[in-house]
Amino acid sequence: MNLSIGLIPCLPTDDHRVPMTPEGVTKLIKAGWQVLVPTGAGAAASFPDSAYAAAGAKILTAKEVTKTNITVGLAVNLTPTIPYAAAELVIGLGNGPVANAKQVLALQKLPRTTRAQAMDVLSSQANLGGYAAALAVAHHLPRLMPALSTAAGSTKPSKVLVLGVGVAGLQAIATARRLGAAVSAFDIRPEVAEQIKSLGAKVVEVDGPSAEGKGGYAGALDAAGIQALQEKLLPFVAAADGVITTAQVPGKAAPQLVSAAAVAAMAPGSVIIDMAAASGGNVVGTKAGEVIQTTNGITLVGETNWPSTLAQTASRFWAQNMVNLLAVLVKDGVLSLEDELVKAMVP
């Protein structure tokens, strides 16, 4: 078997993840791969070149990697404007096109099936994102999350509302609960109520539209449905100290679940973490990549890459997803794109 992997440092440069870790390199080399790592590829995720070298990777300059004919190029984000290695196959998030690559696999197209779970970077990264978002609520709130009794007085637990209960939302619920918050949650799919209850959170029930999309995702609502839902959710948003929104519809702008009126009704010092900011936002008034203070004292956080804030762990999860995927890609020592999961990822 003569198979080689070249790592592509993350772009944009404010994404600190790396698609393969030294631990993952060790596993790949045992499986027969040669791994080429450009200098500094893992530095932002706290993986030094020395760790990759100790794992058996070959450390090269970025220019040397991009000029080398390799079998697979691993990236986090597929960006057509950067120099990828002349690879037979490039794997990452996005649809390309990728210069010099004969074939691209778009990780977001991986089917949501039981067999695919071990390769699903969207889920592994969303899990971390939900954790980071809950910590961000605690960071920005000017009050404690848990109840506390002292000689100087006592506090009640902060109220956290999670809107959208996919992978990120479930982790946000679990983390906020561990931080001591009183958590409630809503999802347009009524069947997730049991998952909310299993984490010890209260289910927000409103009379309104429901929507089930493909592959377990929520479906889209029309403008009238969105407006009706905003009105139903307003009192729950107004009563919360912290709100985490995670609602996304694949291929479409994120639904705006929180109206300007709902933001205006919140108490000063309250916090909203809009995890859908990159795709338009769930909250009227949030801006992608910005932290905004409203005139009534509400903090709106529009961070667009929560997993990158936990770059080391995010990279470890990503790397294991890639180790699992690469095991499917190789049949009898030869790279093969015939598996049904692999075919589904071709843009």
Asked if 166 and 282 sit in the same domain, the reply is: yes
d(CA 187, CA 98): 37
Asked whether residue 148 is domain-assigned, the answer is: yes
- Statement to judge: residues 89 and 205 lie in one domain: no
Quick one: pLDDT at residue 207? 81
**Residue (of 175, 298, 313, 182) closest to 246 by Cα position:** 175
Looking at the structure, tell me whether residues 258 and 212 fall in a common domain. Answer: yes
Tokens for 148? Answer: 């506390």
| Tally of domains in the chain | 2
Strand 330-331 and strand 334-335: the pairing is: antiparallel
Q: Is residue 235 part of a domain?
A: yes
Q: Is 123 a catalytic residue?
A: yes
Q: Can you tell me the distance from the alpha carbon of 249 to that of 50, in angstroms, rounded to the nearest whole number?
A: 41
Residues 74, 166: one domain? no
d(CA 274, CA 296): 18
What was the pLDDT predicted at 5?
93
- pLDDT over 90, % of the chain: 78
Q: Is-catalytic flag, 112?
A: yes
Q: What b/e sequence results for 226-235 when a residue is b if at least 16 CB atoms lie within 10 Å of its CB, and e otherwise?
A: bebbbebbbe
Residue 329 within any structural domain of the chain: yes
Here the CATH number for the domain that contains residue 81 is 3.40.50.720
Q: Which residues pair with 160 in a beta bridge?
A: 183, 242
CB 254 within 8 A of CB 247: yes
Instruction: Let me know whether 287 and 158 are in one domain.
Output: yes
The single residue of 120, 187, 241, 274 carrying the catalytic annotation is: 120
Instruction: Say what the pLDDT of residue 106 is.
Output: 94
Beta-carbon contacts of 218 under 8 Å, excluding residues fewer than 6 positions away, are 164, 166, 187, 188, 189, 211, 212, 247, 248, 249
Q: Is residue 120 part of a domain?
A: no
Which is the catalytic residue, given 46, 117, 198, 336? Answer: 117
As a whole number of angstroms, the distance between CA 101 and CA 109 comes to 18
Is 120 designated active site? yes
| 108 is annotated as an active-site residue | no
Give the integer Cα–Cα distance in Å for 250 and 229: 19
User: Over the stretch 86-111, which tens digit does the pLDDT of each residue have?
Assistant: 788 999 998 766 766 788 999 999 99
What CA–CA distance (Å, rounded) separates 260 from 161?
Answer: 17
The per-residue DSSP string of 222-285 comes to -HHHHHHHHHHHHHHHHH-SEEEE----TTSPPP--B-HHHHHHSPTT-EEEETTGGGT-SBTT
96 in the same domain as 141: no
**pLDDT score for 152:** 94
* Whether residues 218 and 233 fall in one domain: yes
Domain range for 339 is: 3-109+310-344
Residues 136 and 96 in one domain: no
Query: 116 in a domain, yes or no?
Result: no
Same domain, 283 and 179: yes
Tell me, yes or no, whether 210 and 270 share the same domain. Answer: yes
Q: Considering the domain boundaries, does residue 115 fall inside one?
A: no
Any domain includes 114:
no
Q: For residue 186, which of 256, 257, 241, 242 has the smallest C-alpha distance?
A: 257
Which regions in the chain score pLDDT beneath 70?
1, 10-12, 80-85, 96-97, 99-100, 208-219
Q: What is the pTM (predicted TM-score) of this model? A: 0.92
Q: Which of 14, 46, 50, 112 is catalytic?
A: 112
- At residue 102, the pLDDT reads 82
CA 22-27-28 angle, to 5 degrees, is 90
**Cβ density class 209-219: b for 16+ within 10 Å, e for less:** eebeeeeebbb
pLDDT score recorded for residue 28: 97
The reply to whether 157 and 274 lie within a common domain is yes
Q: Are residues 56 and 189 in the same domain?
A: no
Would you give the end-to-end CA distance of the chain in angstroms? 27
Q: How far is CA 136 from CA 20, 69, 159, 171, 340, in A?
A: 27, 43, 14, 13, 39
Note whether residue 300 is domain-resident.
yes
Q: What is the pLDDT of residue 66?
A: 74
pLDDT of residue 13: 72
Q: Give the integer Cα–Cα distance in Å for 242 and 340.
A: 42
- 323: nearest Cα among 104, 21, 41: 21
Bridge partners of 73? 6, 90
Which candidate in 123, 171, 184, 259 is catalytic?
123
